[in-house]
Structure 1
Amino acid sequence: MKLIRIALLIAALPLAPAHAGEGYDAGYQWAEENDVDDTSSCTTPSSSFNQGCEDYVEENAQVAYEDSEDGEEDDE
């Protein structure tokens, strides 16, 4: 019975970046699925995974900045 409980607890845990897959696309997808907004979360042994994660964060930071700029122009 204890093994079943442990298995259920482990299955409920979110995937850590190192277990989410490898490569650029996996890093980008992981960041997107987990709403990552800081490149410090993009640290794994895989440089391509990290690059995909970092690109997602940077692209979304740019979109957020552009959205805030558009809002300021409307206020004038």
Structure 2
Amino acid sequence: MPAESIMITVRQSTGTYIAKAKGFKPSASCSAGPRQAAEALATKLGLSSGLLQEQRCDGLEYGRSRFVHPGSITSN
């Protein structure tokens, strides 16, 4: 059974970046940048942060980023 990809959305809020994934309770934040926040969330979810791919931001609100993970549960 193939794993579904996981969409991580990162938003900027008062000097920090907050990452959330729809359908998952954990969130993560980081002041270093959106990629680092997405990587922190991937790690919390037991995913390999090295597999994250940033998506184009067309149509997203200012201060938001989107990352996709293939969904395989393999820690770093």
What TM-score, normalized to structure 2?
0.28
Comparing both structures, which one devotes a greater share of its residues to strand? 2
Q: Which has the larger radius of gyration?
A: 1
- Choose between structure 1 and 2 for higher RCO, CA contacts under 8 A separated by at least 6 residues: 2
What TM-score, normalized to structure 1?
0.28
